[in-house]
Amino acid sequence: MAESPRSIARLSLYRRLPAELQAEDPEADSVYSHELARRAGVSPAQVRRDIMALGYSGTPNTGYQVEALTASIAAHIDPATPQQLALVGVGNLGTALLQYFRGRQSKLHMAATFDTDPEKVGRTIAGCRCHPVSAIGEVVPAEGITVGIITVPAPHAQETADRLVQAGVGGLLNFAPLHLRVPDQVYVEHMDIAIRLETVAFFALRGRQSPRG
């Protein structure tokens, strides 16, 4: 079973793509590997390998049945029960993310937010209670939180990560422009907006093709 971060990200993407197809053709109940490939920016062979690894396969004539495909992917990547998230740093970006996640159909549930600002602590922001950062060690285990989203300024990102890890989270989505140091068993994705923007700006002047896959 393929379990690299890239393969999980691709499965997550494949699951969403049929909805795009159906937005164009509401009666489409199947999708071909080459359609998924084009929309995902990978090769059709890669799509077939990823989906075959789930133990599901399409037919050459009709492709993948959307419902069965979606169910196979969900069975592989979704947690059995909803997974609890916390967000630390309820500034502009943090609030935007809370509003973005609010009301999404998902097995991921925003259980708590944390901030140091006394104006925010104790309030409900975008549907979620804001606790003081000092309460991370208490709230995270009490709420069974497994994933932390870090949207604090860079100088506070490492200590925030340390607190979250110590409180028991196993994964971090980090928006602070800083490479976090965490124990080996903790998984981190760095969403470094400034660096990605610099990369785009560099290639925008050079007419270089985007990477695939």
Report if residue 26 touches a copy of itself, rule: CB under 8 A. no
Considering only residues 5, 60, 103, 118, which one is a binding residue for a copy of itself as defined by CB under 8 A? 5
Report if residue 150 touches a copy of itself, rule: CB under 8 A. no
CB of 61 to a copy of itself, least distance (A): 26
Considering only residues 2, 68, 125, 186, which one is a binding residue for a copy of itself as defined by CB under 8 A? 186
* Cα 147 from Cα 173, distance rounded (Å): 8
For 92, the 3-state DSSP assignment is helix
Whose tokens are 């609890």? That residue is: 84
Query: Site residues for a copy of itself, window 100-119 (CB under 8 A)?
Result: 100, 104, 107-108
Residue 15: which residues within 8 A CB-CB, separation 6 or more? 69, 70, 73, 74, 77
Report if residue 40 touches a copy of itself, rule: CB under 8 A. yes
Report if residue 161 touches a copy of itself, rule: CB under 8 A. no
Report if residue 79 touches a copy of itself, rule: CB under 8 A. yes
Report if residue 142 touches a copy of itself, rule: CB under 8 A. no
Whose tokens are 């393969």? That residue is: 7
Considering only residues 47, 88, 97, 139, which one is a binding residue for a copy of itself as defined by CB under 8 A? 97
* Cα 130 from Cα 118, distance rounded (Å): 10
- The structure tokens listed for 92 are 């502009």
Report if residue 209 touches a copy of itself, rule: CB under 8 A. yes
Q: Which is nearer to a copy of itself, 41 or 122 (CB)?
A: 41
Q: Which of 3, 7, 66 is nearest to 42 (CA)?
A: 7
Is residue 42 within 8 A of residue 213, CB to CB? The reply is yes
CB of 111 to a copy of itself, least distance (A): 13
